[in-house]
Structure 1
Amino acid sequence: MASTCSAQPWPPATRSPRPCSPAWQSHWPTYSTTAVNSPTDGNSAAMSPRSGNILVVDDEATSAIVRAVCRRLEDEGWSTRVVSKEEHGSADDMLWAALEEIEESLPDGVILDVRLGEYRDDHFKGLDLLKRIVADRPHLPVLMFTQYSHGVERDTVARSALQVEAPVEFIDKLASPEEVALRIRRLVGAEPETIAIGSRIVLDADAGAVLIKYSDGQLAAVNDVRGRRFEILRELAQAWYRSPGNVVPFDRLERYLEGDDTRASLRVRIREIKVAMGRALEQPLGANDFIVSVRDRGYRLLPPRE
């Protein structure tokens, strides 16, 4: 059996919008104060509570690192179950307990330590478990904790990563809880309902609206970014969320448009989005701001300068 990490979720914070249309007010969401900092650019993606189950397999389950990761995941709405050395004793017992837990609870993803004990034979026991998981459930996302970012052991871990054709990624165990949560969320494919772009822009996919946060803390909808303009911006925001710097190809954005020259129409829509967002932010957006054209490839999103 697996134990659970317990953490009290942060209370939701509600914000009242500035005056806007009744249709928008009927869809006004409640936002969580939880935000995940992107490890690469310092911006955040706000998460609405999500129902899901993450299995953590680690011989140091009571350590500050693992407990902090569990708390972070639970703050974002995941439930966590832990297979630990304290409960099961040996690395081999942990391996079989983890396989049994996967069979019974069907987790959305697994966080697995490469090293499952102090004995030399246990240093790569997590890779043995990984191979069994991939063989039994090749589509189950697995995020591997590793302390072997340097030295000869790194080659062993790297070779194992290359041999696995499954949704598996490796992360340094000393990474922040925010980065671990972000990586497992992206690996599982759980895109948030709301994406915070910088500190002042919130894109709400469910409501189909873009919100601006003002200095008094209130939010207001950008009514000129609706319909096709919103869909284009949503596509760019989701690509940026998955990996800052991602370029969205022209043809992927042009599918929201009609006519004989969709490329020209796309340029017009991008310009309209930037004008509307610049007006809402009360700052001009130039050619290299917010939405940037990448020659012969497409567009990418850049959070506006603070």
Structure 2
Amino acid sequence: MRASKQDNKILIVDDESSSAILMAVRRRLEEEGWLPSVVHPESGWSLGEEFEAATLYAIEEEQPDGVLLDVRFGEDKDDRFKGLEILQKIVKRYPKLPILMFTQYAQGPDRDTAARGALLWDAPVDFIDKLASPEEVVLRLRRLIGTAPERIPVGNRIMVDVETAMVYSKDGDDLIPVAEIQGMKFEILRELAAAWYRSPGEMVPFSKLERYSDGDDPRASLRVRIREIKDLLGVALGVRFAAGELIINVRDQGYRLLPPRA
């Protein structure tokens, strides 16, 4: 029987799932409210083949929101890049499933092979060094899956709190409310912050932001609200944002967020 789908389930495919590195990642995922599920293959075949079959079965049964997949399985030279073969099988069957590849080959003689593997897929696939912090792993998974946390840091000086619908400027460790950014202005900034968090430089189209505008000319109304947001944040931070700063107009397409420099 197929397992019921749970929100934010991450399938972990790694022959070292009990290592200190993976245990730290699993704890961090749980802290985020995500459910890590570890693939445990049956014995009998080569290590790489075991994980390939078990992974495809687990995806079908558990329907995860994302996969954390190691590039290398075991010490046999034939399994050095087995994860790339598993990746190919997953992408063919589930082309929209986000996959974050763990690699030990960020440096060294095998770096080019791993890098080429990252460029083969027109799918939500990314590679990360296996020594990256658990926080970075979670961040990359969030961006792949397309989710944002309840509190979105915008650079080092702005915080967007989605749960309370508040915007804060940061002064050291202190959070200072920017109370004037509410209602439609908050929703516009939230959309921009979430897009930036998922992928820095990501643009939000006019059509999506104009939902938070009113009047006979929603595009003009949107421009006014964008200017108000920039002015209010500028006052809170003690700066004045020019046209090419903080919120950028991408001609005839939309807006994107550019966090202020520290």
- After TM superposition, the score normalised by the length of structure 2 is 0.78
Deviation at 1:175, TM superposition (A): 2.3
Structure-1 residue corresponding to 2:3: none
Does 2:193 match 1:237? Answer: yes
Give the counterpart of 1:273 among 213, 219, 229. 229
- The alignment's C-alpha RMSD in Å is 3.4
Q: In the TM superposition, what are the counterparts of 1:87-126 in structure 2 within 5 Å?
A: 90-126=47-83
Amino acid at match of 2:226: I
In structure 1, the gaps of 5 or more residues are 1-49
- Whether the aligned pair in 1 keeps the contact of 2:7 and 2:65 (CA below 8 Å) is no
- Whether the aligned pair in 2 keeps the contact of 1:58 and 1:85 (CA below 8 Å) is no
Residues 254-290 of structure 1: CA deviation (Å, up to 9, x unaligned): 45334565554444322322332344x3623332796
Deviation at 1:182, TM superposition (A): 0.9
Amino acid at match of 1:291: L
Structure-1 residue corresponding to 2:145: 188
Structure-2 residue corresponding to 1:165: 122
Seen in structure 2, the aligned counterparts of structure 1 residues 99 and 218 have a Cα distance that, compared at 3 Å, is: same
Identity in percent: 55
SS at match of 1:228: helix
Output the CA distance in 1 between the equivalents of 2:232 and 2:108.
52
Structure-1 residue corresponding to 2:240: 285
Q: In the TM superposition, what are the counterparts of 1:1-306 in structure 2 within 5 Å?
A: 51-83=7-39, 90-150=47-107, 153-199=110-156, 201-212=158-169, 217=174, 220=177, 222-248=178-204, 252-259=208-215, 262-279=218-235, 281=236, 283-287=238-242, 291-293=246-248, 296=251, 299-306=255-262
Amino acid at match of 1:63: S
Residues 49-107 of structure 1: CA deviation (Å, up to 9, x unaligned): x9421111112223332222222212211121223689888222222222232233222
Structure-2 residue corresponding to 1:25: none
Output the CA distance in 1 between the equivalents of 2:162 and 2:103.
35
Residues 24-45 of structure 1: CA deviation (Å, up to 9, x unaligned): xxxxxxxxxxxxxxxxxxxxxx
Deviation at 1:138, TM superposition (A): 2.6
Question: Would you say how many aligned residue pairs link Structure 1 and Structure 2?
Answer: 255
Amino acid at match of 1:81: S
Output the CA distance in 2 between the equivalents of 1:283 and 1:236.
21
Seen in structure 2, the aligned counterparts of structure 1 residues 197 and 101 have a Cα distance that, compared at 3 Å, is: same
Deviation at 1:116, TM superposition (A): 0.8
Deviation at 1:248, TM superposition (A): 4.1
Deviation at 1:183, TM superposition (A): 0.9
Seen in structure 2, the aligned counterparts of structure 1 residues 272 and 119 have a Cα distance that, compared at 3 Å, is: same
Seen in structure 2, the aligned counterparts of structure 1 residues 303 and 103 have a Cα distance that, compared at 3 Å, is: same
Structure-2 residue corresponding to 1:16: none
Output the CA distance in 2 between the equivalents of 1:299 and 1:104.
40
- After TM superposition, the score normalised by the length of structure 1 is 0.69
SS at match of 2:122: coil
- Whether the aligned pair in 1 keeps the contact of 2:43 and 2:50 (CA below 8 Å) is no
Residues 104-124 of structure 1: CA deviation (Å, up to 9, x unaligned): 322211111111110011112
Output the CA distance in 2 between the equivalents of 1:213 and 1:159.
41
